[in-house]
Amino acid sequence: MLKLFIALSAAALITADAPSLLVSGDRTLAVTAHGTPARIRIDPGAPTMPTFNPDFAARAGFKPGWIGTMARIGPVSVHGRSAVIRLDMGQSEFKRRATWFDAPIVDGADGLIGPGGLPADIVTFAIHPPAAGETTVSLPLVSFGYSGMGTIVTLGNAEVKVLFSLERERSIATAGAGAAIAATQGGSLDGPSSRMVINLAVARPVRHLGLATPLRIGPLALTDMLVRTGDFGSVAAIADKDAPPADPDEILVTGEKKQKRRLRLDVGRDYLDRCSSIVFDKQAKTLTLSCR
């Protein structure tokens, strides 16, 4: 989960009319970045700001300016650089601020970009051919700034940001989002803790969360997900099926470090493979899922 922080307002994106874009196959687009041919991967859950791998930034001769970037991955901060580059996505060249870090952001391509960074009013991700029994539901489309675009699910008094990523094999939530989901959907942690690379080669601890009541997001019914147990919140309130019996002599220290809760859920291919398409309509501000 990548969150970008920069000290300026968003620049104008579209310099030519581009009513729609269909994204399919390997979701890569041949572009020219700073005069250098590149292949950029398009993902529905990717940052709005074009994010390139460091080897491409060096090859293309990106000149870092005074404005830096930072990726927050739980308690780990990964600092990056940014530059205003010339970007041509096949229609006309325009200037755009791009970023890069010391670690690669994507495999099999030179960079990564979300629908918010594309010069098209409507971006359609064609995942699979339509199947019998599909349901199509439109949700409010919300921009999360440079972090990307998605929707919001309200659970009690908590608002969880939901993004959709075809780059992720498994759906995953921050600790705070996992706790909010578990509280309303009857969730419990099960299985051992493991470590998972989240972004930029940073691995964080995760556990499996099973839900007694599925979490409905449009046509999708999520019955489980991974939870980042140490990131942006606490999972202490979630029932633990594998917890050992309480030891009366055990001393537990809590609240040593207060973290700001970041309620975010990334829905991955474990559920998106049930969908034929995801449509981002920026003008209508709708996100439409067609899934079975």
pLDDT in tens, 147-192: 899 999 999 999 999 999 999 999 999 989 999 999 999 999 998 8
pLDDT in tens, 231-266: 666 666 666 766 544 333 333 223 334 444 579 999
Residue 136 pLDDT grade (very low, low, confident, very high; cuts 50, 70, 90): very high
Do 166 and 204 lie in one domain? The reply is yes
The single residue listed with the structure tokens 């009541």 is 213
Q: Is residue 250 part of a domain?
A: no
Contact (Cβ atoms closer than 8 angstroms) between residue 207 and residue 215: no
Do 182 and 207 lie in one domain? The reply is yes
Structure tokens at 236: 């202490």
Do 101 and 146 lie in one domain? The reply is no
Contact (Cβ atoms closer than 8 angstroms) between residue 41 and residue 165: no
Do 42 and 110 lie in one domain? The reply is yes
pLDDT in tens, 15-29: 344 588 999 999 999
More confident residue, 136 or 145: 136
Q: What is the DSSP letter of 102?
A: S
Q: Report the number of distinct structural domains present in the chain.
A: 2
Indicate the residue among 100, 125, 150 that finishes a domain: 125
Do 265 and 159 lie in one domain? The reply is yes
pLDDT in tens, 103-122: 999 999 999 999 999 889 99
Q: Is residue 187 part of a domain?
A: yes
Indicate the residue among 125, 154, 172 that finishes a domain: 125
Do 87 and 120 lie in one domain? The reply is yes
Residues spanned by the domain of 71: 20-125
% of the chain beyond a pLDDT of 90: 64
Q: Is residue 14 part of a domain?
A: no
Q: Is residue 209 part of a domain?
A: yes
Q: Average per-residue pLDDT in the chain?
A: 85
Which candidate, 267, 210, 205, places its Cα nearest to that of 234? 205
Q: What is the mean pLDDT of residues 51-55?
A: 96
Return the CATH number at 274. 2.40.70.10
Do 212 and 275 lie in one domain? The reply is yes
Do 84 and 174 lie in one domain? The reply is no
User: Is 60 exceeded by the pLDDT of residue 132?
Assistant: yes
Do 146 and 275 lie in one domain? The reply is yes
Q: Is residue 45 part of a domain?
A: yes
Do 137 and 280 lie in one domain? The reply is yes
Q: Is residue 165 part of a domain?
A: yes
Residue 208: count other Cβ atoms within 10 Å of its Cβ. 17
